[in-house]
Structures are given as C-alpha cells and as structure tokens.
Amino acid sequence: MARFAANLTLLFNELPILDRFAAARRAGFQGVEILFPYDLAAGELRQAARKSGMDVVLINCPPPNWAGGPRGFAAVPSLQDRFRRDFERALRVAEALSARHIHIMSGKGEGPAARDCMIANLKWATARAPHASLTIEPINQHDMPGYFMCDYDLAAEVLDAVDAPNLGLQFDAYHAHMITGDVLGTWQAHGHRVHHIQIAGAPGRHEPREGDIDFAAFFHAVDNSGYQGWVSAEYSPRTTTEAGLRWMAADIAAE
C-alpha cells in the first residue's frame, strides 16, 4: 500500500508553512516534502514535523532563488565549486530535518561536457554523504527549458555511470507523461531504479485522477513492482487543497 506524502510547497498553501504539517496529517498524509526549505528555520520545521508526527521525505538541492533563479548546478561545468557548497548546505538542512531524500537538480546544460560534469559531481556527492539517499529527476523541457536532466534514458545512463547504492531515480508521473507520453511504459523500463515517486495530473499539473494519466493502472503497476517508498502529491490544487483530495480517499479505499 502506498504511503502518501504532501508537498508542502504546493499543497495547503492557503496556510502558513508551519501549520501545513498538521493540516496534511488531518487530511490523511503520512509524510511531507518541502522543495526549498532554506529560508525557514530548520528547528521550527523540525518541531512542526515532530508535533504532527510527519516524516520529512524530500528536499531539493541546491537552494536556488525560487523566483526565477537557476534550478541547479550539477551539470554546469563552470560551477562545480558552487555545486559542492550548495550540496553541503542541503546536507546540513536534510540532516536537521531527518529528510529521507535529497533531490539533486542538474540545472541547464547539454552535451558531453554537461553529462561528464554531472557524473563527476554525483560521484563526489554520493561519496561525501554515503548515509544519504540522493535522487535525480528527469524534468520536461516545456516546463523548464534547457534543463539538462530531461530524459529517462539519460538518467539511466548517468545512474549507471555513477554506480552508487545511495543514488536513485525520482519518478514524477507528470514529467514522465510530458516527456514520453507513456507513464506505464516508462515505469516498466525504469521503475527498478526508483527511490521516490511524485504524482500530478497531466496536462495542467493539478490533482491526480485528472487528465490523461491512468493513475489506477499506474498505482497497480507500482504495487506489483514491490516498491516500498513514498508517493508524494506534488501538484497545484485547482481550488483549495482540501477540496481536491477525493483522489487520495479513493486510492486508499481501493487498497
């Protein structure tokens, strides 16, 4: 049975961030992820998570300028020092929050130089933090033009080259649909590499069960694969978060 986590960057954002933990718990979530928790006091976030009994499942690395700044540096050859500094900061925050995963963002790039840079940075990061679970995520170029890690075969190639047990694939059903048009086929090809799942309807990135993705079939495939990790709701609610949560009640009842 899936363990659902709420992305508190996107969900319950009608509430102050520290109140979102308890709201997510009341709604039936068991964990949370926060994309960029770096402008918040880690101690306050940790206290809110513990008070509500919520695991912190994932944070992103690096801490970018959310309002239009670069989305990562792992594949940018001229910014390896920046990558390492930001990874150290992300690691400190993840440890303070007992976060399960750190998603490493590639940033913009293309070609062999970007690929080699990302592999080198990931080898360094996995060796620097062998106790941490690190992920990479293909993100579609419609939403993030120029983003280097934009293809599942490329992700598999990078994962094989790094060959570290603490590095895995982050599988976002929305991005899988936008990149391949075939969420089930992409899961069947790459599900064995997955350390973390995120879900949203496509197109539009609203509630699951909307749009073109057959989530009933997807969840069935995930369950049959033996996946034991988290499934994070990372979508933009059409109205309020509470009003759109019927999808989760239906999935839990179907188990």
Q: Are 33 and 8 in contact (CB under 8 A)?
A: yes
Report the catalytic residues.
137, 234
Determine the Cα–Cα distance for residues 240 and 182; give it in Å rounded to an integer. 29
pLDDT in tens, 177-227: 999 999 999 999 999 999 999 999 999 999 998 799 999 999 999 999 999
Q: What is the mean pLDDT of residues 152-174?
A: 98
SS3 of residue 197 by DSSP: strand
Amino acid residing at 103:
H
Domains and CATH numbers, the chain: 3-254 (3.20.20.150)
Greater confidence (147 vs 70) lies with 147
Nearest to 57 by CA among 13, 109, 3, 110: 3
